Amino acid sequence: MRLLYFLAVLSYVYANPSIETMKASLIELLTSTRSRFKSPSGKLAPFEYSKDVEDLAVEWANTCHRSMPSDPRFANMQGYAGKCPIYWPLVREWTTRLLAEEKAYDPATGKCSTSSCKHYMQVTQPNNTKFGCAIKVCHVKNPNPKSFLLSVCLYRADKQSIPIHQTAGSVTTTNTSRTATTATSTTTTATPTTTTTTTTTTTRRPNTTTTTATTPNATTSITSTTTEGSTTGTVKLSVSSELPPTDKGTEMEEAEEEEDIEEEDEGVEDGDDKAAKTSDSPNLSSHLLPLAMIAITVLV
């Protein structure tokens, strides 16, 4: 038992330089795999090794859990566990599995044709531009003491706050601009509308009355033209849903004009009667003059 523990410690001491060498081999493997990927839009952006992503990978590797993490910080992670302290077979295992997944991937559909190729899809994900890897020598005491080598690599997108596969979808914000369009038309509806038409009739002279009433919602223009013996009216109305107020001042002015016309007519009629009486008086005097001359002659 002591000999086994001593070998484990010895392997851990000598493992540090070998771990760094294996990490460099993993970086080269993942970089070359991504560069071989042919996208319809062209080549993918090259991988960038990130120390921050490596720190997250180290944090998970230190737990020595073989199962995949449920913590969203460690999403898009892949790892393999191998026997300790043999390192190079583990690199070969990574290479063999990635090549098999590359053959199973169908670029036309973006899916795996035969077997699972999740790791290869993470390596060739266009948004995944950063990655970090960690390798940990783990020791298990129960139920049987043993050691294994845990290697993990974590892939992240640039400025990624949550894992890509957990994003339900991209959110697009559209500034919606509202445009108001005003259409002018003549519409006849059942809306209650009150229309007042004033007709002025005279027998002597034309009279034109123009009334314009303006409200905030509608404009009503009434034009009445009266000639001798006929009346012609032109009315222009704008339909409004509100009843326009009555202009009392305008109606009063029209009534006063009618009274003036009637008074003027009466004055004209009185003048005609006086003229008729005056003209009748000279006619009577001319008939009686010969009779008067005869009467005077007889008397003399």
Higher pLDDT, residue 39 or 29: 29
What whole-number distance in Å separates Cα of residue 32 and Cα of residue 26?
Answer: 10
* Residue 186: predicted pLDDT: 36
Query: Among the listed ranges 75-79, 94-98, 254-258, which one has the minimum average pLDDT value?
Result: 254-258
Q: Alpha helix locations (H) across the chain?
A: 2-36, 51-61, 88-104, 118-123, 248-299
Q: Per DSSP, what are the bridge partners of residue 137?
A: 149
| pLDDT at 133 > cutoff 70 | yes
Q: What is the mean pLDDT of residues 37-54?
A: 86
By DSSP bridging, strand 219-227 and strand 207-214 are antiparallel
| pLDDT at 250 > cutoff 50 | no
* Residue 114: predicted pLDDT: 75
pLDDT 10s digits, 97-107? 999 999 999 88
* Residue 23: predicted pLDDT: 87
* Residue 40: predicted pLDDT: 73
Per-residue pLDDT band for 21 (boundaries 50, 70, 90) equals confident
Q: What is the mean pLDDT of residues 125-130?
A: 90
Q: Which domains does the chain have, with CATH numbers?
A: 2-162 (3.40.33.10), 196-242 (no CATH)
Q: What is the mean pLDDT of residues 154-167?
A: 58
State the chain's mean pLDDT as an integer. Answer: 64
Per-residue pLDDT band for 28 (boundaries 50, 70, 90) equals very high
| Among 234, 189, 241, CA closest to 216 | 241
Q: What is the mean pLDDT of residues 18-41?
A: 87
Higher pLDDT, residue 29 or 177: 29
Does this model's pTM top 0.75? no
| pLDDT at 214 > cutoff 90 | no
What whole-number distance in Å separates Cα of residue 30 and Cα of residue 131?
Answer: 9
| pLDDT at 135 > cutoff 60 | yes
* Residue 211: predicted pLDDT: 38
| Among 84, 47, 76, 48, CA closest to 60 | 76
Per-residue pLDDT band for 265 (boundaries 50, 70, 90) equals very low
Higher pLDDT, residue 19 or 209: 19
* Residue 140: predicted pLDDT: 81
